[in-house]
Amino acid sequence: MDFMPDAGLAAFREEVREFLRQNLPADLAGDLIGGLRTSRERFQRWQAILNSKGWGAPYWPKDHGGPGLSVMQRLVFDEEYVAAGAPPLDGFAQNLLGPVLNTFGTPEQKAEHRPHILSGTRLWCQGFSEPGSGSDLASLRTRAELDGDHYVVNGQKVWTSYAHVSDWIFLLVRTDAESKHAGISFLMVDMQTPGITVRPIVSIDDCHHLNEVFFDNVRVPVANRIGNEGDGWKLTKFLLNNEHAFTAELPRLKRYLKTLCKLAATLRADGSALIEQESFALKLARCEAELNALGILVSRVAGLEGDHSPAAHALGSMLKVRGTELQQRMTELLVDALGDRGAIAYPEAESANAAESLPGEEFARGLAAEMFFRRASTIYGGASEVQRGIIAKMLFQL
Ligand X SMILES: Cc1cc2nc3c(=O)[nH]c(=O)nc-3n(C[C@H](O)[C@H](O)[C@H](O)COP(=O)(O)OP(=O)(O)OC[C@H]3O[C@@H](n4cnc5c(N)ncnc54)[C@H](O)[C@@H]3O)c2cc1C
CB of 2 to ligand X, least distance (A): 32
CB of 94 to ligand X, least distance (A): 14
Contacting residues toward ligand X, per CB under 6 A? 125-129, 134-135, 159-161, 210, 376, 379-380, 383, 385-386, 389
Catalytic-labelled residue, pool 243, 276, 288, 350: 243
What is the C-alpha separation between 327 and 173, in angstroms, rounded?
33
Q: Give Cα separations from 365 to 210, 248, 334, 347 (angstroms).
A: 21, 24, 11, 9
CB of 203 to ligand X, least distance (A): 6
Q: Which residue is nearest to ligand X (CB)?
A: 134
Q: In the chain, how long is the greatest CA-to-CA distance? A: 75
Nearer to ligand X, 135 or 351 (CB): 135
CB of 124 to ligand X, least distance (A): 10
What is the C-alpha separation between 59 and 61, in angstroms, rounded?
7
β-pairing, 168-174 with 184-190?
antiparallel
CB of 88 to ligand X, least distance (A): 14
Q: Is 243 an active-site residue?
A: yes
Nearer to ligand X, 126 or 331 (CB): 126
Nearer to ligand X, 156 or 259 (CB): 156
What is the C-alpha separation between 247 and 244, in angstroms, rounded?
6
Cβ atoms of 28 and 42 closer than 8 Å: yes
Nearer to ligand X, 75 or 235 (CB): 235
Cβ atoms of 378 and 384 closer than 8 Å: yes
CB of 54 to ligand X, least distance (A): 28
Nearer to ligand X, 159 or 233 (CB): 159
Nearer to ligand X, 117 or 264 (CB): 117
User: Mind telling me the catalytic residues?
Assistant: 243
